[in-house]
Amino acid sequence: MPLLITGISHHTASLEIREKIAITRLDYDKRVKELLALDGVEEVVVGSTCIRTEVYSVGQKDSPLRVHRWLQAKGGLSDTEMEKHCYVHEREHAVHHLFRVSGGLDSLVLGESQIVGQLKEAWQMSIAAGGVEKVLDRLFQHAFATGKKIRSKTRIGDHPVSVAYTTVMLARQIFGDLASKTVILVGAGEMVELCGRHLHDKGLKSLIIANRSIERAKELAEQFDALATPLGNLPEILHKADILISSTASLEPVIHADSVKAALKQRRNQPMFLVDIAVPRDIHPDVSKLGNVYLYTIDDLQKVVDENLSKRTEAAEAASSDLDEAVDEFMRWLNSARATVYLQNLRKHARMNSDELVEKALRKIRAGTDPEQVVKQLAHTLTNRILHLPSTRLRQAAEERDDDLLRVANRLFEPERDT
């Protein structure tokens, strides 16, 4: 039962190539059923995000090639493009890869946790589409447990590695719970929007967005249940800011020391946390000389980001032993499951013969044949039938010099030695 991952990711392909192979939620059920219809494919989960599309499959010996061709046809890629951009992981290498992905160790941002939710969603959708049975169900549950263990043990997600998220984390370090604080966001660009989203997710209740374009400020404010105000009103409301984050396109500072000094007086010198992530700077450097002001620039934040990225890298390296242990544990289960299938087939073969021969033997005994003679004949015939096919295979192995099979057969029937 080959366990296989076939896919592309940000490591191997551009956005243009990834877009061709991406699978939407609306198409998911259809794509899973297409894969299950391929000869030899028994189980399948498809994971498709902005940075990767991967097909996790279980099947017969020749199923990997069929999955590979399906993915190629789906994206309309040439043989050369597939060879360049597509990767294939089998057996323990596939398990190792999935566990790394689940642990956030293969993400665009090392240690990010969003991938766990995406994998769970893919697994659940595949279950609904009939794509998951024993092996992939066990594999994905093991992947989720491994990812959780890695995050818990290494605390890889404790160190923010984006400027926006780092800003919010620093604010929490200074003020603790942000729910009761007031934050003013100056500007309405991408970085301010990201900060607003992180603050909103942390339960912030009081958020003000000041921007030159009041329309854009209102548009952003609607997303976060915030208030919008023209940038010109900033000096009048500055005293409300426990936290201020600024990122405009201004060529000159928009916040000066005298405005902050006046705001501090109104606040009775309660501390203010000011973050300037604009280039050129929005907050005049003289503001840093004021007491009860914590001022961070983009360079200050980048130092924190770089330090945290280093910590995440160290955490990822520390996770390697846990990762290897988890892979070994799953492979032991998988190999045991394979043995169970073989044993079931062996027992089925033996039972079919024994049931038939026992019924014949009972009929002979009822007809008056000597029971001892019937039992001896039963044993002789049953032995011959059960061993006929294995004996034929062993003779062929000997003729073809298949020493590996001969050694395995010898080991199977070798008596246990006393210890």
* Distance spanning both ends of the chain, measured CA to CA: 36
User: Are 255 and 283 within 8 A, CB to CB?
Assistant: yes
Task: Locate 326 and state its tokens.
Answer: 């988890």
What SS3 class is residue 1?
coil
Amino acid in the structure at residue 366: R
In the set 15, 50, 128, 262, the catalytic residue is 50
E strand residue ranges, 28-123:
41-48, 52-59, 87-90
b/e 255-289 (16+ beta carbons within 10 angstroms → b): bebebbeebbeebeeeebbbbbbbeebbbbeebbe
50 is catalytic: yes
What SS3 class is residue 201?
helix
Please give the full DSSP string across 220-289, using - where no structure is assigned.
HHHHHT-EEEEGGGHHHHGGG-SEEEE----SS-SB-HHHHHHHHHHTTT--EEEEE--SS-SB-GGGGG
User: Are 277 and 246 within 8 A, CB to CB?
Assistant: yes
Active site residues: 50
